[in-house]
């Protein structure tokens, strides 16, 4: 059941980083965290890519008893980088349903059909969280799949940037299939979709579905990832060259 008060507690910090306030404070794929609030009761990770899994950002949010939730394939990096005395880890596989700190959670497969960026075999995830009777589905990085299309939810959050994931038109197609009360487009920015991606998306969404565009989503995170990767590769090349000359 859709509840406006639940929607009002959902904050998109940037990119795909979501905070859901309430009795339990929940974060999904934390990046771009300001300060160090250490207020997370639960942190969900959808997959291992650096624009979604940043241990440095997560540690700004963690308390002694924060629960870390992630795909089973991420068990080792979570153990290495996000373990502390008192906290616990819950590793899930696609299709699994459980309760975490009293919140019903369903893990939904998130993958590309043909693109190489998010292989199905990695077992990466989206999540359906039931909060105060409202089902919130955060798809993770995905294409249109049978698993995504069969989800029932009240609030949908999905990527619209394209290239790595579904683009605006495909995201609208998936939204119209799932038919939530409200949809929040995420995962778009300077190098994936551009600033007008959410409006291209909204123009294709059925009239009965409310599109809630959050301007905080737009970012240059993917561009900065490429810059850092290029700088790291250049540094390795230079060091190798200097050692071998």
**Which one, of 186, 180, 69, 195, lies nearest residue 124 by Cα?**
69
Residue numbers in the chain where pLDDT is lower than 70: 222-232
Q: Evaluate whether 21 touches 27 at the Cβ level (below 8 Å).
A: no
Instruction: Tell me how crowded residue 28 is: count the other CB atoms within 10 A of its CB.
Output: 27
pLDDT at 85 (0 to 100): 81
- In three-state secondary structure terms, 230 is helix
H or E, element range at 90: strand 88-92
Residue 241's CB: how many other CB atoms inside 10 A?
9
Beta-carbon contacts of 106 under 8 Å, excluding residues fewer than 6 positions away, are 96, 97, 127, 128
Per-residue pLDDT, 229: 64
* Alpha-carbon distances, residue 162 vs 13, 180, 201 (angstroms): 20, 21, 11
Contact 23, 8 (CB under 8 A): no
Q: What is the pLDDT of residue 228?
A: 63
pTM for the model: 0.92
The DSSP H or E segment spanning 3 is none
Nearest to 187 by CA among 117, 135, 242: 117
Read off the DSSP letter of residue 118: S
Domain at 4-244: CATH code: 3.60.15.10
CA distance 37 to 136: 24
Q: Report d(CA 240, CA 243) in Å as an integer.
A: 5
Q: Tell me, what's the pLDDT at 188?
A: 94
At residue 42's C-alpha, the angle toward residues 154 and 148, to 5°, is 35
Look at residue 95 in the predicted model and tell me its pLDDT. Answer: 98
């Amino acid at each position: 059941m859709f509840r406006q008060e639940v929607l009002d507690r959902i904050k998109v910090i940037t990119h795909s980083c979501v905070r859901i306030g309430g009795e339990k404070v929940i974060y999904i794929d934390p990046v771009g965290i300001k300060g160090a609030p250490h207020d997370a009761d639960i942190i969900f990770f959808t997959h291992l890519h650096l624009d979604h899994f940043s241990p440095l950002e997560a540690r700004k949010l963690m308390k002694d008893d924060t629960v870390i939730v992630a795909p089973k394939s991420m068990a080792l990096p979570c153990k290495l980088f996000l373990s502390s005395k008192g906290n616990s880890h819950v590793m899930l596989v696609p299709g699994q349903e459980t309760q975490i700190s009293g919140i019903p959670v369903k893990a939904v497969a998130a993958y590309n059909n043909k693109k190489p960026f998010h292989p199905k075999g990695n077992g990466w995830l989206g999540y359906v969280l039931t909060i105060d009777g409202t089902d919130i589905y955060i798809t993770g990085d995905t294409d249109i799949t049978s698993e995504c299309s069969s989800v029932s939810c009240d609030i949908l959050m999905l990527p619209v940037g394209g290239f790595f994931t579904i683009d605006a038109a495909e995201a609208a197609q998936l939204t119209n299939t799932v038919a939530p009360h409200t949809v929040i487009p995420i995962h778009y920015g300077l190098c994936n979709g551009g600033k007008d991606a959410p409006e291209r998306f909204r123009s294709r969404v059925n009239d009965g579905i409310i599109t809630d565009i959050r301007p905080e989503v737009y970012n240059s995170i993917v561009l900065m990832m490429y810059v850092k990767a290029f700088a790291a590769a250049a540094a390795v090349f230079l060091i190798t060259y200097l050692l071998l000359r």
